[in-house]
């Protein structure tokens, strides 16, 4: 009589662990994207605020050193904005790649589950055939015993 293969539950568990791990990574990466978006927005707001301040103070007399310092700070803010935007685009592409991997892992999990179910079904069919043969054999024996008596 046929036994269920022990490999399918292991493969299903492995595929499920892969899906869970990718989902965790995806959640962390999405949180990182949100954090970078918030940082980028804060930097943009800060730059706009200092730009307005610079335009406003140009009408007033500012010292040369203060004006240079403010412009250098604005340049640093722009550099930071660019670095955050670069990190943000990298994180977004990582999210896209992780989503693709997650979809493939889901497909693999479904495939392993289907194979496990097919194996269990084959085992059940084999069990039913075996039981039916036993019943048929018993019926033939009883018939033969009645003929002999």
Q: Is 59 a domain residue?
A: yes
DSSP type of residue 149? -
Q: Is 31 a domain residue?
A: yes
Give me the domain span that covers residue 35: 7-112
Burial class (CB in 10 A: 0-12, 13-18, 19+), 140: exposed
CA distance 107 to 121: 21
Q: Is 66 a domain residue?
A: yes
pLDDT in tens, 5-47: 888 899 999 999 999 999 999 999 999 999 999 999 999 999 9
Q: Give yes or no for a contact between 34 and 91, defined as CB atoms under 8 angstroms apart.
A: no
Burial class (CB in 10 A: 0-12, 13-18, 19+), 105: buried
The number of C-alpha atoms within 13 Å of 116 and in the hemisphere containing its C-beta is 16
Q: What element of type H or E holds 138?
A: helix 64-148
Q: Is 117 a domain residue?
A: no
State the pLDDT at residue 70: 82
Q: Is 39 a domain residue?
A: yes
Percent of the chain's residues with pLDDT above 90: 72
Beta-carbon contacts of residue 37 (< 8 Å; ≥ 6 apart): 88
Structurally, the chain folds into a number of domains equal to: 1
133: pLDDT strictly greater than 90: yes
Q: What are the angstrom distances between the C-alpha of 50 and each of 63, 66, 83?
A: 16, 13, 19
Q: Is 121 a domain residue?
A: no
67: pLDDT strictly greater than 80: no
- Note the pTM of the prediction, 2 decimals: 0.75
Instruction: Give 2's pLDDT tier (boundaries 50, 70, 90).
Output: confident
142: pLDDT strictly greater than 70: yes
**Pairwise pLDDT comparison (149 vs 50), residue with the higher score:** 50
Query: 102: domain CATH number?
Result: 1.10.287.1700
Instruction: Give 59's pLDDT tier (boundaries 50, 70, 90).
Output: low
147: pLDDT strictly greater than 90: no
Q: Is 41 a domain residue?
A: yes
Least confident of 64-78, 99-113, 131-145: 64-78
Q: Is 149 a domain residue?
A: no
State the pLDDT at residue 57: 66
């Amino acid at each position: 009589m046929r036994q269920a293969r022990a490999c399918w539950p292991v493969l299903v568990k492995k595929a499920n662990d892969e899906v869970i791990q990718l989902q965790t990574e995806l959640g962390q990466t999405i949180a990182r994207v949100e954090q970078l978006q918030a940082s980028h927005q804060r930097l943009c707001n800060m730059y706009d605020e200092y730009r307005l301040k610079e335009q406003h103070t140009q009408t007033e007399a500012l010292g040369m050193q203060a004006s240079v310092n403010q412009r250098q700070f604005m340049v640093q803010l722009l550099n930071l904005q660019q670095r955050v935007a670069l990190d943000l685009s990298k994180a977004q592409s990582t999210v896209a790649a992780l989503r693709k991997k997650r979809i493939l892992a889901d497909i693999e999990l479904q495939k392993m589950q289907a194979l496990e179910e097919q194996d269990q079904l084959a085992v059940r069919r084999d069990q039913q055939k075996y039981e039916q043969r036993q019943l048929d054999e018993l019926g033939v024996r009883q018939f033969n015993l009645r003929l002999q008596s």
